[in-house]
């Protein structure tokens, strides 16, 4: 009898964060050939940055998301993955009152404009800063192959003010690091 086990193509995925787990799920679900998938994770738990803890204090229970707690719904991939995994029933709509993003701008809490009309009327950016952002389509592409930080990329394409007042705080909030 042939040993079917040894005929399987072997795939090793390093890292059991969402990237590695999604890759494993995708290969297992959609590969046309039989695969032997091994996922290697250094930490004692799966999920990587996605990490939820429940804290008990004074008889009450608090859920703490140590990393990500939301995803962008404009793009279909996360929805699709949640549906495939049967998790879509557990997704919580954040509600309209928490749908906005705010930054602390020199001591004042200001809303990050998320639509063209809000961008035009926003007092977060100066007129000059807004004009620099609007010029983005006319900024020529980078010609060299040198590595570029996220801050360098945003500054080059959208200007320093866009980095300092909008994208920098948002990206720092998402990745918990300096862009």
Ligand X SMILES: Cc1cc2nc3c(=O)[nH]c(=O)nc-3n(C[C@H](O)[C@H](O)[C@H](O)COP(=O)(O)OP(=O)(O)OC[C@H]3O[C@@H](n4cnc5c(N)ncnc54)[C@H](O)[C@@H]3O)c2cc1C
Site residues for ligand X per CB under 6 A: 14-20, 40-43, 48-50, 67-71, 174-176
Q: What is the number of H-type helices and E-type strands within the chain?
A: 8, 6
**Closest distance between ligand X and the C-beta of residue 3, in Å?**
29
Stated as kind and residue range, the H or E segment containing 11 is strand 9-14
Min separation Cβ 166 and ligand X, Å: 17
Query: Of 14 and 34, which CB lies nearer to ligand X in the complex structure?
Result: 14
Cβ-count burial of 159 within 10 angstroms (0-12 exposed, 13-18 middle, 19+ buried)?
buried
- Give the distance, in angstroms, between the CA of residue 49 and the centroid of all CA atoms in the same chain: 11
Q: Which is nearer to ligand X, 101 or 133 (CB)?
A: 101
Task: Compute the least distance from the CB of residue 179 to ligand X, in Å.
Answer: 13
Distance of alpha carbon 112 from alpha carbon 100, whole angstroms: 7
CB 28 within 8 A of CB 39: no
CB closer to ligand X out of 52 and 83? 52
Closer to ligand X by CB, 67 or 152: give it.
Answer: 67
Residue 32 C-beta: closest distance to ligand X, Å: 25
């Amino acid at each position: 009898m042939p040993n079917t086990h040894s005929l399987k193509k072997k795939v090793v995925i390093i890292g059991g964060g969402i990237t590695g787990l999604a890759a494993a799920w995708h290969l297992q679900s959609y590969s046309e050939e039989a695969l032997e998938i091994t996922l290697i994770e250094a930490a004692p738990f799966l999920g990587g940055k996605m990490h939820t803890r429940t804290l008990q204090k004074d008889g009450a229970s608090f859920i703490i998301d140590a990393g990500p707690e939301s995803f962008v719904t404009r793009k279909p991939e996360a929805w699709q993955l949640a549906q495939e995994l049967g998790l879509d029933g557990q997704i919580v709509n954040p509600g309209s009152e928490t749908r906005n993003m705010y930054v602390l701008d020199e001591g004042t809490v200001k809303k990050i404009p998320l639509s063209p009309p809000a961008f035009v009327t926003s007092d977060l950016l100066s007129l000059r800063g807004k004009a620099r952002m609007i010029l983005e389509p006319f900024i020529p592409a980078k010609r060299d192959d040198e590595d570029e930080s996220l801050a360098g990329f945003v500054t080059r394409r959208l200007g320093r003010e866009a980095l300092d007042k909008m994208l920098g705080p948002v990206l720092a909030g998402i990745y918990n690091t300096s862009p």
